[in-house]
Amino acid sequence: MWKPMLPTFVEELSKDTEKWLFEVKYDGFRCGLEWTKDKITLWSRNGHDLTPNFPEIVLWCQNNQSYINHLLPLFLDGELVVLKTPYHSIFSLVQQRGRLQSKEKILSFSQKRPATFMVFDMLKSEGKSLQNKILAERRKYVEELFSRFGSFKGRLQIVKVYRSLRDLEQIVFLHQAEGIVAKQRDSKYAEAKRTNKWLKWKNFRSVQGFITSWNANNDYFQVEIMSDHPTSSLPIGKVKNGLKENEKVTLKRFFKEKGYKLNGFSWSLPPSICVDIHCLNVKKEELREPLFRQFRFDLSPEECTWEKVRIGLAQLPDEIDITKPDKNLFPSVNKRNYVLFLREVAPFLLHKLQNKRLTIIRYPDGVNESFFYQKHLPEYAPSYIESVIGEDGEKDLLCNNLRSLLWFGNHGALEFHAPFQQVDSSYPDEMVFDLDPPSLNEFSLAVSAAHYIREMVESRGYQTFAKTSGKTGLQVHIPLEQSSMSFQETREFMEAVAKVLVDKFPSSFTIERLKKNRGKRLYIDYVQHAQGKTIIAPYSPRATKEATVATPLYWEEVNENLNPKNYTIHNISQRLTEKGCPMQQIDIAD
């Protein structure tokens, strides 16, 4: 029975690129995939058969087996995950799947929120063991396997290898991945061993709380924070590991001297001792992988709040200090919550802004006050805000990193508009149909038009994605291969599609640019798709009182029940966790 090679936890990784290779550490189930010509089996690290709970993995392998028949039987080592981004996996969803017993529920989950097997090693190929080969050689076998599958995204994906630790650290920070695994290039596979040839570093978040109880039987300390009511507190979890022996002795003595005994093995203490805790998350009164970091004698219990915990979990860059955090930018969203929203969607939003001239709309005092457009670099911008010289000789804004995005948000940028091409290209990287009904009352016209466009465009071999505009319209995005079409060619293509719809449904659709001449018809805007023009970026908020968001949709969601006002800053984060991003099939940039 397979027993995996295990990494050793360290607080710091070596940057020696000659000796080490670096990978993202995914938060899921460590898993071995045994693949023969007759059977596919998923093994847990403890030897349990996981195959019945993840039928989508098996089905994908069966559908693609013809590409790699000559390599069978083989054995792959990897992580079974449910991805939020290409680098961030959601452990609770994998855990939930692993516990399901009903075949109907398993099938439903596998279709609505499918798992992915992230492959980082191969232990057997053509029935022959590869364990005595060094990692660098085994990696070639993995890459050869995936070259057979092609470039499309599937239920099996290869874990990328990085030679620069710094580059990977930036990716892990942006995507809030679980951590990094470093592996010696010349390491052989040592089954059932925890080894120093593989090292793991955790991307811990740091939160503050105060210790209120101690269980002498298991040595766990309860950590709490202040609730909204000034005289009560809320538990956020328990911690045991990380305390040095002298710290543990001091803490227990303090409980016995200043606290009071609840029963034969537990003690309670009024809020007084504040601490830093490292963890991966806080959810339902539970700290995920908590590790005591240090006592915080500079803090008072009143300073340990849920808002502070949220900021700690968000891992804001050091340069970002939210000014006037309680100022409302939307009627129901203050600046603190707005910046935290941008942090949550940053991996998705930054992907569409990457290396593109940016236009932002700023509402310094909120959506009910004055606003202005900005596309040039202000003199007071920090050095990490990038720019490029525009045609007018001014410095055009770029938003290529997390610090920039959050700085803009902190300065009241509520909308992010991007052009259709990057700064170093005159070719568009996508086509976007903007479907604009006369009002929300005629939104069903946008739904119909989107499906007609999808049918026509996909029949020509293109991929399509729908998204709300964040206001009253819908938009259909069509990714393009690099330099595959000029703006003139895309305009001709889009105009032809639009005219087909107008000719077929003249009472429903129009390409008339003047609003007064459209009547109750939906305007199919293809003219906006031109060099220098912009479109609202996916996951950008809109300056509406509802705090709506331009939200990518699954095509089955584009139906008669669709209401763009239902997608707001308040629920997009949960949506991304539960459903993932429909545009995930397009690689999210590093």
Strand 6-9 and strand 194-202: the pairing is: parallel
- Which one-letter amino acid corresponds to residue 456? M
Residues 275 and 304 sit within 8 Å (Cβ to Cβ): no
Q: How far apart are CA 373 and CA 540, in angstroms?
A: 15
Tell me the two tokens of residue 548. Answer: 């709506």
* Dihedral sign computed on CA atoms, order 397, 399, 403, 409: positive
Give the active site residues. 25
Q: How far apart are CA 104 and CA 110, in angstroms?
A: 10
- Which one-letter amino acid corresponds to residue 504? K
Distances (CA, A) of 220 to 55, 211, 240, 300: 39, 10, 5, 22
Distances (CA, A) of 550 to 16, 251, 523: 43, 50, 19
Distances (CA, A) of 304 to 234, 312, 325, 490: 10, 11, 16, 55
For tokens 């009253």, the residue is 472
Pick the closest to residue 508 from 495, 519, 496 (CA basis): 519
- Which one-letter amino acid corresponds to residue 325? P
Tell me the two tokens of residue 144. Answer: 């050869």
* Dihedral sign computed on CA atoms, order 152, 154, 156, 158: positive
Three-state DSSP class for 278? strand
DSSP 568: B
- The reply to whether omega before 582 is within 30° of 0 (cis) is no
Residues 444 and 560 sit within 8 Å (Cβ to Cβ): yes
Tell me the two tokens of residue 248. Answer: 């543990």
Tell me the two tokens of residue 217. Answer: 């039987």
Three-state DSSP class for 86? coil
Continuous segment of H or E residues that includes residue 169: helix 165-175
- The reply to whether omega before 73 is within 30° of 0 (cis) is yes
Name the burial class of residue 176, with classes exposed (0-12), middle (13-18) and buried (19+) by CB atoms within 10 angstroms of its CB.
buried
Non-local (6+) Cβ contacts of 10 within 8 A are 199, 200, 201
Residues 423 and 357 sit within 8 Å (Cβ to Cβ): yes
Residues 259 and 269 sit within 8 Å (Cβ to Cβ): yes
DSSP symbols for 371-420: -EEE-B--TT--TTS-EEE-TTSSEEE---SHHHHHHHHHTTEEEEEEES
For tokens 């995204």, the residue is 153
Tell me the two tokens of residue 355. Answer: 């290396």
